[in-house]
Structure 1
Amino acid sequence: MNTFHTTTIRRTVRGALSGLVVWALTGCMGIPERIDPGTPRAQIEERLGTPTAEYPLPDGRRLQYSRQPGGQQVYNLDLDASGRLRRVEQVMDINWLQRNIALDRWSRADVLQNLGRPALIERVASFRGDVWTYRFLEANSPHQAHLHIDPEGVVRKLMFTDEATRDDPPDRM
């Protein structure tokens, strides 16, 4: 191998490793679960950036960091009245969804405050209203949660399906 090819390969490998290190470091810093309780809002936003949504709570504020539509997580960071982190919760989890979504009681506003904007909004012939779809992982397998919201803005039904991927055989899609 000549010197040009050896140098090019070394530069490529070095660049890829540098990129991997930067990605790993920024990825670790951008994980909401790794922010300690009591952290002030300014430090949270310094590490995570601007939240995708923000909501008032009775005793503070909720900063929401959603990775929908492409990702499969939604993180709610609840701040106390002084603007310090009280709690971090990743809500795109089948147990959380089943335990917390209150059918016939949750409104569209409740859905937004807890889950954020959906990955997809669509309609189906068998329901009069919108179906909001959220992506999540369960045992490293991609799934979807479908919330049926009637024209009055009330959640009437919650369904779960497997998410079809490009690697699925044609009979599964």
Structure 2
Amino acid sequence: MKARPVLLRWTRWAVGSAACLWLAGCAVPEWQKIGAPRAEVLQDMGRPTLTLALPGGAQRLLYSRQPAGQQVYHLDFDAQQRLTRVQQVLTMEQFFTLRNGVDTRDTVLQQFGPPALVEHVASFKGDIWTYRLLDNGASRQAHVHIDPQGVVRRVMFTDEVFNDSDRHH
């Protein structure tokens, strides 16, 4: 029956999403109100994955749902510690902004947070940081190749393949 794998995938997604919301205390970055005080957002969202200083005394809280999730959020605060912007940055467009030979491991970490997976292959000397993302509803992976000096050398994309053993029952 063809509907069964789709139903099973949807059920897994629904259960996973419910678990994610439960673990996060039902805090959703998109629901944060622009102008909210940083302390209020922290109370609602919990500890961020990374905290980054921005120019002019501003600050960015980065919340990553990697390795299981497919989102990374930037919550930007002005010098008065008020929320000015919420942006989901784990997109193909954001990965296209990485400049080969210019951007570094630190740039990638500050933009996307820790990767879902760090891999190595024989054909590239260095780390390959893999991020899970959604592209128009399709599960994809971005693979950022970082050489031993910490410089981005290439970004590649693949479809994410799920092991769906239920398909054969």
- Give the TM-score normalised by structure 1: 0.78
Aligned with 1:45: secondary structure? Answer: helix
Cα-Cα RMSD: 2.5
Higher relative contact order, structure no. (Cα contacts within 8 Å, ≥ 6 residues apart): 2
Q: How does 1:14-163 map to 2 (within 5 A)?
A: 29-59=26-56, 60-98=58-96, 100-163=97-160
> Which residue is equivalent to 1:5?
none
Report the TM-score when normalising by structure 2.
0.79
Mark the CA change 1:109 to 1:25 in structure 2 (over 3 Å): closer, same or farther.
closer
Distance in 1 (alpha carbons) for counterparts of 2:166 and 2:146:
31
Aligned residues: 148
Post-superposition offset of 1:167: 2.2
Provide the secondary structure at the position in 2 that maps to 1:113: helix
Q: Which runs of 4+ in 1 moved over 3 A?
A: 23-29
**Distance change in 2, residues 1:85/1:129 (3 Å):** same
CA distance in 2, matches of 1:49, 1:28: 9
**Structure 2 vs 1, CA of residues 112 and 27 (structure 1 numbering), >3 Å: closer, same or farther?**
closer
Call closer, same or farther: CA 1:29–1:169 in 2, change over 3 Å: closer
1:88 Cα deviation from its structure 2 partner: 1.0
Hey, what's the Cα distance between the residues in 2 that align with 1:61 and 1:87?
11
Offset at 1:37? Answer: 1.5
Aligned partner of residue 121 in structure 2, secondary structure: coil
Q: Cα distance, 1:116 vs. partner?
A: 0.1
Task: Tell me the alpha carbon deviations over residues 12-68 of structure 1, each in whole angstroms, 9 at most, x when there is no partner.
Answer: xxxxxxxxx9x9799795111121211111111111111111111113111010000
Percent identity, aligned pairs only? 47
* 1:103-138 deviations in Å (ceiling 9; x for gaps): 211111111111000000011111111000000011
